[in-house]
Amino acid sequence: MATPPHPLQTFFNPETVAVVGVSEKPDNLGRVISGNLHSFGFNGIVYEVGPDGGTIYGRRIYRAVSDIPDRVDLAVLLVPARVVPEVLTECGRKGIRHVIIETAGFSESGPDGALREQEVAAIAAENDIRFVGPNCIGLVNRHAGLSTAFVTLDPLLKEGGTSVITQSGGVGISILNMLASEGGGLAKMISVGNKVDIDENDALEYLIDDPETEIITMYLEGIQDGRRLMSLARSTDKPILIHKSNIGEAARGIASSHTAALSADDAVVDAALRQAGIARFRDSETLVHYLKALTLPPMRGNRVAVLSRSGGHAVIAADACELQGLQLAELPREFLDEAQTHLRANVISLTNPMDLGDLFDLDVYERLAEGTLKMDGVDGMVFMHTYMVGPDGDRSQRLFERLHELSVETGKPVAVHADTVASEVSRLKQVLPGPVFQEPSDAVRALSLLRDYWKVEVPAPVRPDGPADAAAVRAILDTCRREGRNPLLQESMAIASAYGVPVIASRLAATEDEAVAAALELGLPAVLKVISPEISHKSDLGGVQLSIRSEEGVRTAYGEIMEAVAAGAPGSHVAGVLVQPMLRGGRDLIVGARLDPNFGHAVVAGMGGVFVEVFRDVAIRIAPFPKSAAAAMLRELKVWPVLEGVRGQEASDVDALIDAILAVARLVTDFPEIVELDLNPIRVMASGKGCLALDARMNLAPLS
């Protein structure tokens, strides 16, 4: 059986389009849509519809959709919000199955608009209509001459390989303006608006398979289904760039664990996008650099050659390379000596950056660039050329064209900086086959973005192997569910242990005498921690006593804990204390997880202990993930050099810590009802001596 076409296929490639909401009035926005279809060269049939009738562009304006004497593939609605349900119903009766609702005044405008939006969704479902919007500017297929925007677009925007998915029509127009200014080409754009039906993931799925799309850029204020987004991104080699705005930290407001506070919404978004191989940008300047850089061959290493006609620009580029972490490649002395023979005054000693200010032969420039790019020790090049338009204009353009050819031939990126008058730079952007940069630092930044993009590992979302006593965990969780509470400290420790997290020996003591017996059994000095379902942060209430060295000390500590809890949390049910031996040595880290509503469980690892939220040194991954991703998390931490053993200090048992991270990933993958989990601290001992969770806190999803 043949695979049905993607729903967006008809949206982007209709043969007949009805524009509903058109009048003869000069300020009518519906006529702007028709004008865009005309100026962009749409080769299908366009029907205009408006209640007043008349003519536009020599065509009749039909008074109703039902009056159109033809099959309609796509209807574009720009009518008052109050009549959208009526018009959509009429489209259904006409047999129109694809609609763009550009009208605003729905959920974004308040409760009444939200009710109207629900009505529209119900009408569409009843009539088997797929729709984009509402509150959008529609879509563009530059290769087919289709443009349904209600703002006038520049028909000189070139056809190309960049496609745009945007939640905001205005931001979409800004990206199109940027593409036109930089000489970039557009494949397709879709403005999804309120995303009631077609959302960004539907659009992404379509564009991934679209042969005309090479790069996908997205502007989103909210993400509809984060896990689907990650899955789609992993399925393609096409670069995906996202500007996710509307940064929220809702998780902090409801956090009852360190993990939740550390994995605020935007931090999870950042981690999830990176883990899926999606590049995130936060401003239009970075987007410009990305879109230019990604038209170049991949940057597979970190070594850069800089060739410049200006010594000053060479120094500026060298500084920029250092700031971006790019290494200046070491060029062979014999190569530099041969290049030296072409200098006129021979007063410059060539190195990298290569100052060619004493060389006026552009053919030699080309040969030097070719020789440099063919070196194994060079991964990319910044070529800076300063010239006046008159005598050097045509020759410089041919040099730039040859540099682009060399970049393609060698499979290495060449970022060209053209230092000339602004009008010439603008012209070059429109006519050259590769990108042109206006500042040396821009060219260097583009190469660093290219390097970072291609070095990102995209781990497979696989559940890591390891210990997993699911039956033991299920028994504890079922007990907690029946009693309507979260797991107590000792239960949380038992759950972690069942999945392979090493935990410190502990004894529950319901009385002072039991606490003494447990301390003597486990060994002094001891630690006492209050056990109560109502008390989450025990130390804040004086519910923890450390370094207790005698039997009398245990009795005193027990009494002080009970007094502190009675004063700080009156009425709390106290089951007793958990007694543990006082562990010396090692380093305190945190491993935890939080259920993010969009992406699933975010696993956190980082610096732990009492200052965990002060230093906020954490790395995040979305579960599940393999061992390589867990190891990469630790290498991201500022504390990583300490774990490795800096300045003669003993290295920590990183392998044991990685195993603990994977255990948490397994646990939350198997038990999604665990919405928050803290193992803080996990005491990591010296290399080969393991790690131990000293404390655990766990929250479950409320029963529905």
List, as one string, the DSSP characters of 144-190. TTEE--SS---TTPEEEEEEEEES-HHHHHHHHHHHHHHT-EEEEEE
Q: What is the pLDDT of residues 526-571, one digit of tens each?
A: 999 999 988 877 877 889 999 999 999 999 999 999 999 999 889 8
Helix axes 422-431, 169-182, angle to 10 degrees: 100
Q: How far from 448 is each of 237, 325, 370, CA to CA, in Å?
A: 19, 8, 21
Structure letter (DSSP) for residue 81: G
* Predicted local distance difference test score (pLDDT) of residue 348: 63
User: What kind of fold does domain 297-455 have according to CATH?
Assistant: Rossmann fold (3.40.50)
* Predicted local distance difference test score (pLDDT) of residue 255: 42
Of 126-135, 164-173, 317-326, 641-650, which gets the smallest average pLDDT?
641-650
Residue 154 — pLDDT band, cuts 50, 70, 90? Answer: confident
Q: Give yes or no for residue 434 having a pLDDT over 50.
A: yes
Q: Give yes or no for residue 587 having a pLDDT over 50.
A: yes
Q: Give yes or no for residue 373 having a pLDDT over 50.
A: yes
Q: What is the pLDDT of residues 74-125, one digit of tens each?
A: 999 999 999 999 999 999 999 999 999 999 999 999 999 999 999 999 999 9
Q: Give yes or no for residue 167 having a pLDDT over 90.
A: yes
Q: How far from 515 is each of 31, 113, 130, 157, 532, CA to CA, in Å?
A: 82, 62, 66, 77, 16
Domain 460-502+584-704 carries which CATH code? 3.30.470.20
340, 347 in Cβ contact below 8 A? no
Which strand (E) or helix (H) includes residue 77?
Answer: strand 74-77
User: What kind of fold does domain 7-246 have according to CATH?
Assistant: Rossmann fold (3.40.50)
Q: Give yes or no for residue 367 having a pLDDT over 60.
A: yes
What proportion of the chain, given as a percentage, has pLDDT over 90?
A: 84
**Residue 493: Cβ-neighbour burial (10 angstroms; 0-12, 13-18, 19+):** buried
Query: What Rg value do the Cα atoms of the chain yield, rounded?
Result: 32
Q: Tell me the average pLDDT across 2-29.
A: 94
Structure token digits, residue 232: 């789609």
Strands 576-581 and 507-509: antiparallel
Task: With CA atoms as reference, report the closest residue to 259 among 271, 246, 242.
Answer: 271
* Predicted local distance difference test score (pLDDT) of residue 150: 96
Q: Give yes or no for residue 332 having a pLDDT over 70.
A: yes
Q: Which long-range CB contacts under 8 A does 637-641 form with residues at least 24 apart?
A: 637/605, 637/606, 637/607, 638/607, 639/587, 639/589, 639/606, 639/607
CA–CA dist 176, 154 (Å, integer): 9
Structure token digits, residue 214: 């090479």
Q: Tokens 């407001």 map to which residue?
A: 253
pTM for this entry: 0.91
Residue 699 — pLDDT band, cuts 50, 70, 90? Answer: very high
Angle 304-306-312 from CA coordinates, rounded to 5°:
140
| Residue-range domain boundaries for the chain | 7-246, 297-455, 460-502+584-704, 505-582
Angle 237-241-242 from CA coordinates, rounded to 5°:
135
CA–CA dist 528, 432 (Å, integer): 72
Q: How far from 660 is each of 112, 218, 631, 638, CA to CA, in Å?
A: 50, 36, 11, 19
Structure letter (DSSP) for residue 463: P
* Predicted local distance difference test score (pLDDT) of residue 248: 61
Domain 505-582 carries which CATH code? 3.30.1490.20
Structure token digits, residue 67: 């009056």
List, as one string, the DSSP characters of 488-528. PHHHHHHHHHHTT--B---EEESSHHHHHHHHHHH-SSEEE
Q: Tokens 């390989």 map to which residue?
A: 161
**Residue 38: Cβ-neighbour burial (10 angstroms; 0-12, 13-18, 19+):** middle
* Predicted local distance difference test score (pLDDT) of residue 251: 42
Fold match between domain 7-246 and domain 297-455: yes
CA–CA dist 659, 499 (Å, integer): 10
